[in-house]
Structure 1
Amino acid sequence: MKPTAVVFAYHNVGVTGIECLLQAGVDIKLVVTHRDDPEENIWFGSVAELAHRHNIPVITPDNPNRADVIAHIAGLNPQWFFSFYYRHMLSPELLAIPPRGAYNLHGSLLPKYRGRAPVNWAVLHGEAATGVSLHQMVEKPDAGALIDQEAVAILPNDTAHGVFLKLTPAAETLLTRCLPLLLAGKIEPKPLDLAQGCYFGGRRPEHGRIDWLQSAWTIHNLVRAVAPPYPGAFFDDNGKRFFLLGSFYCGEAAVNPGKICIYWEDGHFYADCIDNKRFRIEQLSCDGVLLDQAAFNALANNGQLLPTASDDDQLEKGNTD
Structure 2
Amino acid sequence: MNNPQKRAVVFAYHNVGVRCLKVLLAGGVDVALVVTHQDSATENIWFESVQSLCETEGIPFITPDDPKSPELLAQVQAAKPDLMFSFYYRNMLPQAILDVAPAFNMHGSLLPEYRGRAPTNWAVLHGASEAGASLHEMTAKPDAGAIVAQQAVPILPDDTAFEVFGKVTVAAELALYKVLPQLLAGTAPRTPNDLSKGGYFGGRKPEDGRIDWTQPAQQVYNLHRAVAPPYPGAFTDLGPRRYVIERARLYRGELAGHIAGLPPGLAVVDNAILGVCGDGRALLIHSLLADGLRISPAELKASL
TM over 0.5: yes
Partners of 1:290 and 1:82 in 2: CA distance: 42
Deviates further, 170-179 or 103-112: 170-179
The 3-state SS of whatever aligns with 2:259 is coil
Q: Is 1:281–2:285 an aligned residue pair?
A: yes
Residue matched to 2:241? 240
Q: Which runs of at least 4 in structure 1 moved beyond 4 Å after TM superposition?
A: none
Residues 1-321 of structure 1 aligned to structure 2 (within 5 Å): 1-98=4-101, 101-249=102-250, 251-254=252-255, 255-259=258-262, 260-265=264-269, 268-300=272-304
The gaps in structure 1 that reach 5 residues or longer are 301-321
Deviates further, 278-287 or 86-95: 278-287
Q: 2:250 is matched by which residue type in structure 1?
A: Y
Residue matched to 1:316? none
Q: Is the 8 A contact 1:253 1:278 kept in 2?
A: no
Q: What is the CA distance between 1:294 and its match in structure 2? A: 2.5
Q: Is the 8 A contact 1:247 1:280 kept in 2?
A: yes
Partners of 1:272 and 1:238 in 2: CA distance: 18
Q: What is the CA distance between 1:54 and its match in structure 2? A: 1.2
The 3-state SS of whatever aligns with 1:282 is strand
Partners of 1:263 and 1:205 in 2: CA distance: 24
Give deviations 1:266-304, integer Å, cap 9, x for gaps: 66422221112122112112233321122122212xxxx
Partners of 1:214 and 1:6 in 2: CA distance: 47
Give deviations 1:26-71, integer Å, cap 9, x for gaps: 0000000000001101111110111111111000001122111101
Aligned length: 298
Partners of 2:221 and 2:48 in 1: CA distance: 28
- State the TM-score, normalizing by the size of structure 1: 0.89
Q: Is the 8 A contact 2:68 2:93 kept in 1?
A: yes
Deviates further, 166-175 or 107-116: 166-175
Q: What is the CA distance between 1:257 and its match in structure 2? A: 3.3
Q: Is the 8 A contact 2:213 2:265 kept in 1?
A: no
Q: Is the 8 A contact 1:270 1:280 kept in 2?
A: yes
Partners of 1:97 and 1:224 in 2: CA distance: 40
Q: Is the 8 A contact 1:253 1:276 kept in 2?
A: no
Residue matched to 1:313? none
Root-mean-square deviation over aligned CA pairs = 1.4
Partners of 1:41 and 1:114 in 2: CA distance: 24
Partners of 2:290 and 2:189 in 1: CA distance: 54
